[in-house]
Amino acid sequence: MGLESNVTQPFLATRLDEVINWGRKFSMWPMPFGTACCAIEFMGVVSGRFDISRFGAELVRFSPRQADLLLVMGTITQKQAPVLKQIYDQMPDPKWVISMGACASSGGFYDNYSVVQGIDEIIPVDVYVAGCPPRPENVLGAVVKIMEKISAEKAADWR
Amino acid sequence: MNESDILAQIKERFGARVLAEYNFRGQYAVTVAPETLRELLVYLRDDKAIELDWLMDVGGVDYLGYSDQAAPDEDEREWRFEVAYQLYSMRLNHRFRVKVAVRDESVEVPSVWDLWAIANWEEREVWDMFGVRFTGHPNLRRILCHDEFVGHALRKDYPINKRQKLSQPSEMILCEKVEWA
How many angstroms separate the CA atoms of B13 and B133, rounded? Answer: 27
Query: Smallest Cα–Cα separation from B166: which of A123, A83, A78?
Result: A78
The model's pLDDT over B86-134, given as tens digits with 9 standing for 90+, comes to: 999 999 999 999 999 998 889 999 999 999 999 999 999 999 999 999 9
Rounded average pLDDT over A154-159? 76
Q: Which of B128, B141, B146 to mutate against chain A (most A CBs within 10 Å)?
A: B146
Number of structural domains (chain B) is 1
Give the whole-angstrom CA distance, residue B53 versus residue B50: 9
- Residue B175 pLDDT level (bands cut at 50, 70, 90): low
Any idea what the Cα angle at residue A80 is, between residues A74 and A83, rounded to 5°? Answer: 105
Q: Can you give the pLDDT at residue B76? A: 61
The whole-number pLDDT of residue B99 equals: 94
| Residue B31 belongs to some domain of the structure | yes
Question: What mean pLDDT value characterizes chain B?
Answer: 87
In this prediction, residue B73 carries a pLDDT of: 59
Q: Are B117 and B55 in contact (CB under 8 A)?
A: no
Tell me: the pLDDT tens digits for B40-67?
999 999 999 999 999 999 999 998 877 6
Cβ neighbours, 10 Å, residue B113: 23
Tell me, yes or no, whether B166 lies in a domain: no
Q: Indicate whether B159 pLDDT > 70.
A: yes
pLDDT digits (tens, 9 = 90+) for A63-118: 999 999 999 999 999 988 988 998 999 999 889 999 999 999 998 899 999 999 99
Tell me the CATH number for domain A30-152. 3.40.50.12280
ipTM above 0.90, yes or no: no
- Say yes or no to pLDDT of A1 above 90: no
Q: Tell me, what CATH number does B109's domain have?
A: 3.30.460.80
DSSP state for residue B132 in the 8-state scheme: -
Lowest mean pLDDT among A123-132, B31-40, B167-176: B167-176
Domain assignment present for B159 = no
- Residues B145 and B148: their CA atoms lie apart, in Å, by 8
* Distance of alpha carbon B166 from alpha carbon A86, whole angstroms: 13
Q: How far is residue B66's CA from residue B74's CA, in Å, rounded to a whole number? A: 9
- Whether B44 maps to a domain, the answer reads yes
Confidence at B29, pLDDT banded by 50, 70, 90: very high
B interface with A, Cβ–Cβ below 8 Å:
144-146, 149, 153, 158, 160-170
- When pLDDT is cut at 50, 70 and 90, the band that residue B174 belongs to is low
A113 touches chain B (CB under 8 A): yes
Q: How far apart are CA B133 and CA B150, in angstroms?
A: 15
Between strands B18-24 and B27-32, the pairing is antiparallel
For residue A83, the chain B residues in CB contact (below 8 A) are 169
B98: in domain: yes
Asked if residue B173 is part of any domain, the answer here is no
B130 neighbors B60 (Cβ within 8 angstroms): yes
pLDDT of residue B176: 61
Task: Tell me if chain B has a CB within 8 Å of the CB of A89.
Answer: no
Residues B41, B115 contacting (CB under 8 angstroms): yes
Cis bond upstream, residue A30 (ω within 30): no
pLDDT tier, B180 (very low <50, low <70, confident <90, very high otherwise): low
Residue A56, classified by CB atoms within 10 Å of its CB into exposed (0-12), middle (13-18) or buried (19+), is middle
Who's near A95: CB < 8 A, 6+ residues apart? A67, A68, A69, A70, A88
- DSSP state, residue A115: B
Residue B142 falls within a domain, yes or no? no
Domain hosting residue B55, numbered range: 3-135
pLDDT, one tens digit per residue, over A13-57 is 888 889 999 999 999 999 999 999 999 999 999 998 999 999 988
- For residue B68, pLDDT over 70 is answered with no
- Taking the C-alpha atoms of residue A18 and residue A151, their distance in angstroms, rounded to an integer, is 7
- For residue B141, the chain A residues in CB contact (below 8 A) are none
- Whether residue B103 is contained in a domain is answered as yes
Cα–Cα distance, B47 to B53 (Å, whole number): 10
Domain range list for chain A = 30-152
Going by pLDDT thresholds of 50, 70 and 90, the confidence category of residue B71 is low
pLDDT at B77 over 60: yes
> Distance (Å, rounded) from C-alpha A59 to C-alpha A31?
9
Distance CA B33, CA B81 (A): 12
Query: Using the beta-carbon criterion (under 8 Å), do A82 and B144 form an inter-chain contact?
Result: no
